[in-house]
Amino acid sequence: MNVASLDDLLAQPGGLRGERVFVRADLNVPLDAGQIGDDTRIRASLPTLQRLVEAGARVVLASHLGRPKGQAKPELSLKPVAVRLSEHLGRPVQHVSDCVGEEAERSANALGEGDVLLLENLRFHKGETDNDPAFCAALARLADVYVNDAFGAAHRAHASTAGLPALVERRAAGDLLLAELKSLRRVIEPERPLLCILGGAKVSDKLRVLEALAKRADVLAIGGAMAYTFLRANGEATGTSLVEEDRLEDAVRVAEAATASGHELLLPSDHVVAQRIDPDAPTQIVRQIPDGWMGVDIGPETRALYAAKAAKARTIFWNGPVGIFEIEAFAAGTKAVARAVADSSALSIVGGGDSLAAANRMGVGDRISHLSTGGGASLEYVQGLALPGVVALER
């Protein structure tokens, strides 16, 4: 991977002092009525930003937030992010009402050394997701140097990740992006045994990564609603659990790929079930899901099995909750996985919003080797796929 680093840029004559450094960050945090629910991604961006500020760069910061689909939606403004960034950086972070145009250019040009400007949501413009050349050119007018630190968006061939860097001669990966690539490389070239724990709702959402990891992971442990598609494919009763009937053959193929590779594919052996998805719904723990009931979490026996595999692993990759984590009564399995991953002596990599939230909520985030900020990007990278945002940085 022939990609320049922030160290490379700073080592050049004059460093970055006085330069407008366009930083594509991933500040896509959960917002509720203007309040930030979890600022993990903001905090993850700080090391690169602090180094640039200390180097006297004029920082032009850009990100997307949510899916406004090319429309300016006030509820998806990055203004609250600017306020939180100011608190973390200990200095004012300016915010402008657009990411391109006269106001943005004027504000970027007026920055002093060490100043930080946060542009408005990139996805308020359709040109961002379309990688429109005119939009790329408008962004380029704000940049002397380009730094991509948004691993969470590196799998998107968007204007700010793929089109813009081609227009800026000096470009590099930020500290967070490089750390993500280095850590996830350990899943592709692991110290064994490699345990991969995959949760989530649908096999269809993660089919390609399931196929890839079935051949790579010594143990592939499945949780979440997609486990019921696998169980149905095995002929087991699943009650009213979410099952993708059109993916049963895919589930069989993934299981066969694991077996053919001499690997182990684990499915829940017991379940927390309820008759409806409701915090107040009665639950029971069962081995076989009865009619009229649905699986909402892995049971105690399964939690213990997955924890035992984590204790023996040398490398762990976990992505996705193993139950309906949003409801506290159905979250015990996901919390148990978070605790087991943290307790293991293995190199541990956790990605995906709910997985990160579980680790942080359990107070074990600081005992995870690497908390990945890129759910979709991490899944593509561990498959061995090229990420457009990384390819665009190559020299």
**Active site residues per annotation:** 41, 202, 353, 376
Can the peptide bond before residue 193 be classed as cis, meaning omega within 30 degrees of 0?
Answer: yes
Spatial distance between the Cα atoms of 177 and 40, rounded to a whole number of angstroms: 15
Assess contact for 219 and 309: CB atoms under 8 A.
yes
Spatial distance between the Cα atoms of 17 and 219, rounded to a whole number of angstroms: 49
Q: Residue 90: left if φ>0, alpha if ψ -120 to 50, beta else—which one?
A: left
Length of the chain: 395
Assess contact for 268 and 223: CB atoms under 8 A.
yes
Assess contact for 13 and 360: CB atoms under 8 A.
no
Nearest to residue 377, comparing CAs of 151, 130, 66? 151
Strand arrangement, sheet containing 370-372:
264-266, 219-222, 194-198, 315-319, 347-351, 370-372
